[in-house]
Each structure stands twice: as C-alpha cells, then as structure tokens.
C-alpha cells in the first residue's frame, strides 16, 4: 500500500502546535517513522531524531530535516471582562485575524474562541483600515468575566487559527502545511528506504521552533554534526493573481519540488540534486535566493565549523495563512528525489 500523505496531513493539520508546543505532532511523527528506522529519540530541546544506520565502515552522516512547528498566538493578558489579548508566535499577517475562529490549548484541553472585529457600521467614517496591531485585537471565548475565563485559560496558553481540511484532486488546503507537508515527505522517504541497504547513516530530524529563528535546527546540527544536510521546507508558489515571476520567481504547484540555489546552499549539493532529478526524470523547479533563506538552512549551514547544506522546498500558496495550499504530486516527486539522492551515495 502506498504511503498516504493526505491521511497524515489531515491528522497533523488540526493539531495546535505552534513553536515551543510541537509535542503532539512530534509524538505522532515519531510513532509513524519508528517502523522504518533503527532508532528514534528526542533531544532535550524537543527535536525528534530517527536514524537509519548505514552498512559502510567509512559511512558518513546525512541529515534530512523538516520543522514541526507552526505560527500561532500566545495569551498575554486577560481583562476584567474575560477578553484575551495576545502576541504573535512567528510571522503573522494581522490583517487575516479579525473575525477568525481560534483553537486555544486551555487548562483542561482545547477551547474555541473568536478574534473580535469592530463592525464596519461602527468604524469611523473615512477610516478604511482598523488598527490591527496585536494590542488592538482580542479573543472572545464567550465568558462573562475574568473569573470565568480563568476556569478555561491562563496567561501563556497558545492558540492557532482553525481551518477546514480540503482536498480536490491532488490539491490539499489547510493550516500548517508549512511545514507538516515536509514531515510527511520525510516519513515517505524513510518508508521508501526501509528495506534498502544504504552505505551512510541517515538522520531524519523533525525540528522545533523554526518559526522563531530556527532554534531547534541549530541544536540538532550541533548534536548530530552531519557531513551534509538537506533541509525540507515550503516556498512561495507564484502561480496565482498578484504574483510576478520576474519579482517573485516562477514556482508552480504540481511542477515538482523546488531546489534552492544561492549562498545559503552548498553549490555541489544543489548541483547533485539537479543532476539526480534529471538523471531519474523527476520534475523539479529552481529558486535563486540571494541571501539567507528564512529556513532551518540558515543556522545549520553555519553550525560547528560549517555544514554543507541543501534546501528542497514544496511549493505552497498563501503561506502563513490558515488556507495554505500544496499539491500531493509535489510531495511524491520530492520524496522520489530525496530517496534517489541518498541512494546515489551508495557504492
């Protein structure tokens, strides 16, 4: 039976797991990948490491990483009327927030709330935009006062926007596709290599806290000290209105994984990924990035004395929104690329 990317994503997309609160996602991922590797363990910061041991006496360490966290909110204040105030975890466009439903990890489990919005009828005439800084937004959990609110939540509780999980053909829509679609790819790669002998040790790592400057990746790289690393993340698809291929690149859903080139990536690894794609007739796309990539590759590349690092990304529409869209075909093609890339180092 083929690996079901959709089944895995449907389970993890509904989880409330912003940076620092990834455990529920990681527990599921660890349980699923453990069937295909020699060993799994968690680090003190929370990364999950799954290892497939190689057979060569002079084997090297190849690390594949994908971050498990998502953007979210953290409760910072509860007023006397029971309204919750918050700050962002990671990069959130506050224009998306008014009128949205949120799921809060409360004291006794998940609790829903709504982000309040001042009706258009009551806004000042001539003022077309509300002040959408976090201090002017609030969450309403349908309680009478602060005392009742404290029965359900407290300062420090985290939340994420809710979203339906939609599938049409190979297209998947939901929250946290960034970057749980990449966790699905790591599972599929591990499954593909399960009964295959490999020369080198393969480290599959689900990292934490990428959305707040790749903190998990930094510690994972220091701990494992791999000979090379491939970071798996999402990148901006540019195949929808308002995007410019000249300015934003030409990246389409369904056209394959995106191989990044630029100073944050090792040139030889990028070339090897391209060569493997062409040799095995795997569709791929290229993305040129002139500076740091905004991914785990940033910190991994400059860990220890420097780690040769590549970056392969899944095209994603509407990143950092509750309606991110990815294409299952890109997940399949990226799985094949990474599998063949690893096998290319045999013998």
Binding residues for Zn(2+): 67, 178, 211, 233, 320
Q: Identify the three-state secondary structure at position 169.
A: coil
Q: What is the DSSP string of 208-262?
A: S-GGGTSHHHHHHHHHH--SEEEEEEEEE---STT--HHHH----TTS-EEEEES
Contacts of 179 (CB under 8 A, 6+ apart): 66, 67, 68, 70, 210, 232, 233, 234
| Residue 282 · residue 340 · CB < 8 Å | yes
Q: Alpha helix (H) ranges present in the chain?
A: 5-13, 23-33, 146-149, 177-192, 215-224, 245-248, 267-279, 297-301, 328-343
Q: What 8-state DSSP symbol labels residue 187? A: H
Distance CA(61)–CA(49), nearest Å, equals: 13
Q: What 8-state DSSP symbol labels residue 13? A: H
Give the CA distances from residue 223 to residues 56, 118, 216, 245, 262, in Å, rounded to whole numbers and listed in that order.
Answer: 22, 49, 11, 39, 26
Distance CA(347)–CA(59), nearest Å, equals: 11
Strand duo 72-78 + 109-115: pairing: unpaired
Catalytically annotated residue among 22, 32, 70, 210:
210
CB atoms inside a 10 Å sphere around CB 344: 14
Active-site annotation holds for 210: yes
Contacts of 75 (CB under 8 A, 6+ apart): 84, 85, 86, 104, 139, 153, 154, 155, 156, 157, 158, 159
Distance CA(262)–CA(100), nearest Å, equals: 38
Please list the active-site residues.
210
């Amino acid at each position: 039976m083929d690996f079901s990317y959709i089944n895995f994503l449907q389970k993890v997309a509904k989880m409330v797991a912003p940076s620092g609160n990834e455990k529920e996602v990681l527990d599921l991922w660890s349980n699923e990948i453990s069937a295909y590797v020699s060993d799994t363990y968690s680090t003190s910061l929370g990364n999950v490491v799954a290892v497939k041991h190689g057979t060569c006496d002079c084997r090297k360490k190849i690390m594949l990483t994908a971050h498990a966290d998502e953007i979210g909110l953290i409760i910072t204040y509860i007023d006397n009327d029971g309204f919750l105030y918050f700050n962002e975890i990671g990069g959130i466009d506050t224009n998306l927030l008014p009128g949205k439903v949120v799921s809060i990890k409360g004291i006794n489990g998940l609790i829903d709330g709504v982000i309040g919005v001042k009706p258009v009828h009551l806004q000042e005439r001539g003022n077309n935009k509300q002040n959408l800084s976090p201090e002017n937004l609030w969450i309403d959990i349908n309680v009478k006062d602060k005392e009742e609110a404290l029965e359900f939540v407290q300062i420090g509780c985290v939340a994420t926007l809710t979203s339906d999980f939609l599938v049409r053909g190979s297209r998947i829509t939901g929250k946290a596709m960034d970057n749980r679609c990449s966790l699905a790819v790591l599972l599929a790669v591990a499954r593909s290599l399960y009964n295959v002998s490999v020369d080198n040790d393969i480290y599959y790592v689900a990292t934490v806290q990428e959305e707040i400057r790749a903190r998990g990746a930094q510690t994972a790289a220091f701990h494992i000290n791999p000979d090379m690393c491939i970071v798996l993340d999402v990148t901006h698809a540019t195949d929808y209105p308002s995007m410019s291929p000249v300015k934003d690149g030409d990246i389409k859903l369904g056209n394959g994984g995106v191989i990044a080139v630029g100073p944050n990536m090792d040139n030889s690894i990028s070339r090897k990924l391209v060569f493997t794609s062409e040799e095995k007739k795997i569709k791929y796309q290229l993305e040129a990035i002139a500076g740091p990539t905004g991914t785990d590759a940033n910190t991994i590349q400059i860990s220890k004395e420097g780690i040769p690092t590549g970056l392969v990304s899944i095209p994603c529409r509407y990143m950092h929104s509750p309606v991110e869209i990815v294409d299952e075909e890109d997940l399949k093609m990226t799985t094949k690329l990474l599998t063949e890339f690893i096998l290319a180092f045999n013998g």
